[in-house]
Amino acid sequence: MAVALETHEIETRLGLLREEHRDLDASIAALMASGSVDQLQVARMKRRKLRIKDEIQLLENRLVPDIIA
């Protein structure tokens, strides 16, 4: 039961992170298209997006058990 609950929590967190990743991607694209680009803000958003991607990968790895071949 605890494993199923943990799996559900991980899947929920993954969904939220994926949504935030997509939102950041859209925000970065909008800033770039606007013409007046704040490079510092874009750089911060890209770093945040990379941290989210790393967390997504870590959580996905927890969902898929290691198989020793």
Q: Where are the beta strands (DSSP E) in 1-69?
A: none
Whether the per-residue pLDDT at 24 is higher than 70: the answer is yes
Q: Which residues contact 13 (CB under 8 A, 6 or more apart)?
A: 59
Length of the chain: 69
Q: What is the pTM of this model?
A: 0.82
> pLDDT digit string (tens) for 31-64?
999 887 889 999 999 999 999 999 999 999 988 8
pLDDT at 54: 97
